[in-house]
A and B are shown apart, each in its own frame.
Chain A
Amino acid sequence: MAGRIVNWGTRHGHALVSTAGHLARHRVATTLTVLAISVALALPLALNVVVSNIRTAGGSFADAIGLSVYLAPGTSEQRARALAASARAREGVASVTLITAAQGLAQLRKQSGVGAALDALPDNPLPAVLEVRPTTSAAVPSRLDALRAQLAAAPEVESVQLDRDWAVRFHAIIELVRRGLWISAVLLAAGAVAVIGNTIRLEIASRGAEIEVTRLVGGSNAFVRRPFLYAGVLYGLAAGLTAWIIVAIAGGALAGQAQRLAAAYGGSFALHGPSARELGMLLGAGAVLGWLGAAIAAGRQLSRTSPRRQ
């Protein structure tokens, strides 16, 4: 049994090493192929990075989303604080700020310069308001609606205002980009498989004499196919790494500009590039797609040149 494991190791080790050597010797051809595939892999990765950056940015913009809970005039401060406390305790609520009628009046006096007119009023016309900020994950239209319904249930609440449109738009954008990401990923993966498959096909065609001799001395189909499968895997791995590096460099190039843009909007934003986890995924995807492309090409061509009957 140990002997068979050693055999398997020798076989695959030999195929892997000789293939790696072959690819290393033909530097230009290998580089061109790897670049072609890495562009195909870089695009879905870039989209993924864009989406995750939007999510992060959107997180800070989600501060703009808030529900304003207007209490009925004459609600006692004690009751208002109790309502604030119960709202804070709800799931999906990040913070609740109570603006009492008095505070509201003071703010209005300071801001709008209608101080004199206000003094003329007998009573404070302003109601108490609870400014409710949802958490980032709860800033989804459906959950916001639910939250609004819950808050409106209390008897003292006269109305709940919600700038829903902004949330809807933001999420529509994210969803669109994510769908686009999936579609482009599938298409580009197919493209990567096709490029690798074609490269391997040409390789096999150019090494026909060698394959024939190998068959004549008793090489099985598996033996003949093995180096080509390894070539596919190696192409895929190299392309995955290159794609990651391309997107990382692009991210670095854009980071400065993104920072300036955010500052112009009064915020700060650090663009983050692809993560280590995404590198792992790209390497894995590259290896699998590479193997697949090579297997398809090798399967078709090598079975055609097999010894024929009659």
Chain B
Amino acid sequence: MIRFERVSKRYPNGREALSQLSFEVASGEMLFLTGHSGAGKSTVLKLIALLERPTRGLLTVNGIDTAKLPARRIPLFRRGLGVVFQDHRLLMDRPVFDNVALPLIVADVSFKEIDRRVRAALDQVGLLGKERAVPLELSIGEQQRVGIARAVVSTPPLLIADEPTGNLDATLAAEVMGLFRRFNEVGVTVMIATHDLYGVRESGLRAITLAAGGLDAPALPAIAAMQ
């Protein structure tokens, strides 16, 4: 599903965010991306979402060579991708329904279908009944869940999340992780960048650890050592 082949990313100011990074993610897999701040986790996700392009190396997503993708095809590419942000990035002046419906509106889906799918997505995150609410009226946890509903409403094959539980307490974080697992169970490839090493350990899933732009030895032994 995702393949990084010796990908390097250097920013115009000279900072090298990624250096010869190589890894693969199979379709339908769920895995974590860990590492300290500045290790390059966000950069990896930005490259997958085509917000940035690799300086060197090959990045293939869902069989598409991202280097060969022309700018005008990027919107279509992004519709096959669900993105969850740490700071939810909701439109605060619109009701929840409009927020979640955005990926569908952008894809010219009919109003009837939009209605059905938005309700389904809200149901999955446990917010059915809050369609008319405005994000400001919701709690942080609920706002984050709206963000997740938006990411999955168009049932994309790939879901990436950048620190989705960063602002949440342990209970909520566990709930959100549960949501991601449920999506993965129906075949969605899920990749989560996170600091929550305990959650990673609990899940027992694969974790790719980044350090200074490259792969590092897994952090799990370090946790084991701490205990």
Among the 9-residue stretches B18-26, B71-79, B167-175, the one with 4 or more Cβ atoms under 8 Å from chain A is B71-79
For B91, give its contact among A6, A213, A215, A221 (CB under 8 Å).
A213
- Asked if A112 is at the interface (CB within 8 A of a chain B CB), the reply is no
Contact between chains at B107 and A218 (CB < 8 Å): yes
For B106, give its contact among A7, A210, A214, A306 (CB under 8 Å).
A214
- Asked if B1 is at the interface (CB within 8 A of a chain A CB), the reply is no
List A contacts of B72 (CB < 8 A). 220-221
- Asked if A90 is at the interface (CB within 8 A of a chain B CB), the reply is no
Give the CA-CA distance A28 to B118 in the complex, in Å: 34
Contact between chains at B91 and A217 (CB < 8 Å): no
Contact between chains at A11 and B108 (CB < 8 Å): yes
List A contacts of B53 (CB < 8 A). 308-310
Contact between chains at B89 and A213 (CB < 8 Å): yes
- Asked if B37 is at the interface (CB within 8 A of a chain A CB), the reply is no
Contact between chains at B71 and A217 (CB < 8 Å): no
- Asked if A14 is at the interface (CB within 8 A of a chain B CB), the reply is yes
Residue of A nearest to B151 (CB): A217
Contact between chains at B91 and A218 (CB < 8 Å): no
List A contacts of B74 (CB < 8 A). 307
Give the CA-CA distance A264 to B49 in the complex, in Å: 79
Contact between chains at B108 and A10 (CB < 8 Å): yes
Residue of A nearest to B102 (CB): A217
List B contacts of A215 (CB < 8 A). 75, 78
- Asked if A223 is at the interface (CB within 8 A of a chain B CB), the reply is yes
Give the CA-CA distance A306 to B50 in the complex, in Å: 11
- Asked if B217 is at the interface (CB within 8 A of a chain A CB), the reply is no
A-B contact count (CB 8 A): 62
User: How many residues in A have their beta carbons less than 8 Å from beta carbons of B?
Assistant: 23
- Asked if B157 is at the interface (CB within 8 A of a chain A CB), the reply is no
Residue of B nearest to A223 (CB): B106
- Asked if A280 is at the interface (CB within 8 A of a chain B CB), the reply is no
Contact between chains at A219 and B75 (CB < 8 Å): yes
Residue of B nearest to A219 (CB): B106
Contact between chains at A218 and B106 (CB < 8 Å): yes
- Asked if A120 is at the interface (CB within 8 A of a chain B CB), the reply is no
List B contacts of A213 (CB < 8 A). 89-91, 102
- Asked if B83 is at the interface (CB within 8 A of a chain A CB), the reply is yes
Q: Take A209-B89, A219-B75, A309-B71 as given contacts and tell me if A214 and B102 are in contact as well, using a CB distance cutoff of 8 Å.
A: yes
- Asked if B64 is at the interface (CB within 8 A of a chain A CB), the reply is no
- Asked if B103 is at the interface (CB within 8 A of a chain A CB), the reply is yes
- Asked if A216 is at the interface (CB within 8 A of a chain B CB), the reply is yes
Interface centre among A209, A214, A307, A309 (most CB of B within 10 A): A307
For window 98-112 of B, CB contacts with A under 8 Å fall at 102-103, 105-108, 110-111
List A contacts of B107 (CB < 8 A). 218
- Asked if B27 is at the interface (CB within 8 A of a chain A CB), the reply is no
Interface centre among B50, B83, B108 (most CB of A within 10 A): B108
Contact between chains at B50 and A7 (CB < 8 Å): no
For B78, give its contact among A209, A216, A306 (CB under 8 Å).
A216
Contact between chains at B71 and A306 (CB < 8 Å): yes
Separation in Å of the B15 CB from the closest CB of chain A? 15
For window 52-78 of B, CB contacts with A under 8 Å fall at 52-53, 55, 71-72, 74-78
Give the CA-CA distance A7 to B81 in the complex, in Å: 22
- Asked if B186 is at the interface (CB within 8 A of a chain A CB), the reply is no
List A contacts of B83 (CB < 8 A). 216-217
Give the CA-CA distance A177 to B76 in the complex, in Å: 55
Give the CA-CA distance A209 to B91 in the complex, in Å: 8
Instruction: Produce 1/0 per residue, A201-218, CB < 8 A to B.
Output: 000000001101111111
Partner-B contacts on A (CB < 8 A)? 6-7, 10-11, 14, 209-210, 212-221, 223, 306-310
Partner-A contacts on B (CB < 8 A)? 49-53, 55, 71-72, 74-79, 81, 83, 89-91, 102-103, 105-108, 110-111, 150
Q: A221-B75, A306-B71, A310-B53 are in contact. List 13 more A-B contacts (CB 8 A).
A: A6-B110, A7-B108, A10-B111, A11-B108, A210-B91, A213-B89, A216-B49, A217-B83, A217-B102, A218-B81, A219-B102, A223-B75, A307-B50
A-B CB contact pairs (8 Å), 30 listed: A6-B110, A7-B108, A11-B108, A14-B105, A213-B89, A213-B90, A213-B102, A214-B106, A215-B75, A216-B49, A216-B51, A216-B89, A217-B83, A217-B102, A217-B103, A217-B106, A217-B150, A218-B77, A218-B78, A218-B79, A218-B107, A219-B75, A219-B102, A221-B72, A221-B75, A223-B75, A306-B71, A307-B71, A308-B52, A308-B53
Question: 8 tightest A-B contacts by CB?
Answer: A218-B79, A218-B78, A220-B75, A217-B103, A219-B106, A218-B75, A7-B108, A310-B53
